[in-house]
Amino acid sequence: MTQLAPLHQEFAALNTQVFTVTFGHPYWAQAWLQETQSPFPVLLDPTQDVYRLYGLDHSAVRSWSVKTLLYYARALIRGEKLIENRGDTHQLGGNFIIDNQGVVQFVYPSRDPTDRPTIAAMMTVLKRLQPTS
């Protein structure tokens, strides 16, 4: 979500609402919002029903792969503060775009915690969904 936050105004201009969905405890969700200063609302999914509905994977192997460990090591070397473990670290996320009719227009299930779609790919879909004048 940190890569999307700077585009908050651009999303607003595209009449797009971005949400973060988490299965974490409300306390930790609020702490994450304060720490990251994310401009997007957080929706809680404590039973992970949404994760299952969208077919998101759960994998200890991919969550703690060499690629993931290197990502975190590089972040620490850059002086970034890592957020402590606050739940199921094996649940993988994803990015989805759902249009105003409830139709899923974009699906990107993450293969590991560092795997996210490009901003360009998501913006292309959002712009395609804009009404023509």
We report the CATH number of the domain holding residue 9 as: 3.40.30.10
- 2 touches 75 (CB < 8 A): no
133 is a domain residue: no
How many structural domains does the chain have?
Answer: 1
pTM of the model: 0.77
Mean pLDDT by 10 residues, the chain (133 residues): 83 89 84 84 90 88 81 84 70 89 92 90 93 75
Amino acid at 59: S
| Distance, CA of 7 to CA of 5 (rounded, Å) | 5
Report the pLDDT value the prediction gives residue 133, as an integer from 0 to 100: 63
Q: What is the rounded CA–CA span in Å between residue 56 and residue 95?
A: 10
Give pLDDT, residue 114: 85
pLDDT at 88: 72
Residue 88 sits in which domain range? 5-128
pLDDT digits (tens, 9 = 90+) for 104-123: 999 999 998 889 999 999 99
pLDDT at 37: 86
Q: Is residue 100 part of a domain?
A: yes
